[in-house]
Amino acid sequence: MSCHRKRSTKYCWSRMKHRHVHVTPLEGGHTMNQRKKQILGGVLVCVFILSLVHCDALKAGTAEKQAYILEKDVVYGTGGDVELTLDLARPTTGKGPFPALVFLFGGGYRSGSKSRWYSEIREAAKRGYVAVAINYRLTRELENGKPKYPFPAQVHDGKCAVRWIRANARTYTIDQNRIGVVGFSAGGNLALMLGLTDSSDGLEGDCGNGGMSSRVQAVVNLAGGTDLVLHYQIYPFYYGALVGGTPEQVPERYKAASPLTYVSPDDPPVLSLCGTSDHVLPQEELLDERMRAVGASHTLIVKEGVGHSQFALANFSKDNPVWEFFETHLKKGEE
């Protein structure tokens, strides 16, 4: 804050030593020493206020840390020559066992990282879930000019993570009969593949804990592809690399990589969210039609004016349909 004032100056003579003294009075007649004391007092008050704010911030940060325990870069398996890692957040209160959630990032199976779900897994832990965000193998790594890890490597990795959760249920106080998955875009496609396939489909992989089931009990799909022939028309570069050619060249592989192929009456409940401005919407409508036709549980929420945006579909920092869905299907009957 700046202020301006017109200064007046007067001169006086000292009779004792006849020295010339220049005096500049301040507002209200205060001397310079008094003014310095006022400034110093103001500074001290500001310091005191800032210290209180800082203490409150530290208390809030400490309280948040106390609400969950975070473990980063935990190895959950090995896919080919790749060490697979996850970040895990778990509650510090409640007796458990807790339901578990697996978060799957998007990026066309070419890019992305588990760090995209960093805030969401912490929020999940505060809501009473053991939450993991996983890395899985991507198509950007090449070998002899072709993707080194095409489909079904990503499904193998996702199923490996679910088996790891079950194998470590006692360590992390997890109820292995209450596991949900959620993913956006490519992660939504992967979440559906984990939810709709079973061991008879030949997609388990061998990256670890083979004696455990990879079945999940609830699926949230945020604008993930359900028919990869249609999805290829939207994103030919990404899904041609994933599947290993065009739909005309490898039709059976496109069928195998499409969640629609595996719809059956015993599927876990699925929630799909998509926007009216997203080209993926017709695929979500196909999934809704197919699951309802066989008597499986599917809920489709279409958001007006929303495009292909994870945050616009579900803001996990607030109550939203995703949390309501998991509360209903993974926490029903909790005391």
Find the CATH number of the domain harbouring 218.
3.40.50.1820
In total, the chain counts a number of residues equal to: 335
| pLDDT in the model for residue 62 | 55
| pLDDT in the model for residue 47 | 57
Residue 227 to residue 187: CA distance in whole angstroms:
14
Q: Give the structural domain span for 323.
A: 66-330
| pLDDT in the model for residue 214 | 98
In a domain, 290, yes or no: yes
In a domain, 109, yes or no: yes
| pLDDT in the model for residue 281 | 98
* C-beta separation of 136 from 84 below 8 A: yes
| pLDDT in the model for residue 35 | 64
Q: Which stretches in the chain have pLDDT values below 70?
A: 1-65, 333-335
Instruction: Kindly report, residue by residue over 100-119, the tens digit of the pLDDT.
Output: 999 999 999 999 999 999 99
* C-beta separation of 290 from 223 below 8 A: no
In a domain, 319, yes or no: yes
* Radius of gyration for the chain, computed over Cα atoms and rounded to the nearest angstrom: 30
| pLDDT in the model for residue 6 | 39
SS3 content of the chain, % helix, strand, coil (to 5): 40, 20, 40
| pLDDT in the model for residue 48 | 61
In a domain, 10, yes or no: no
In a domain, 50, yes or no: no
The number of distinct structural domains making up the chain is 1
| pLDDT in the model for residue 66 | 86
In a domain, 5, yes or no: no
Residue 38 to residue 54: CA distance in whole angstroms:
24
Q: How far apart are the first and last CA of the chain?
A: 56
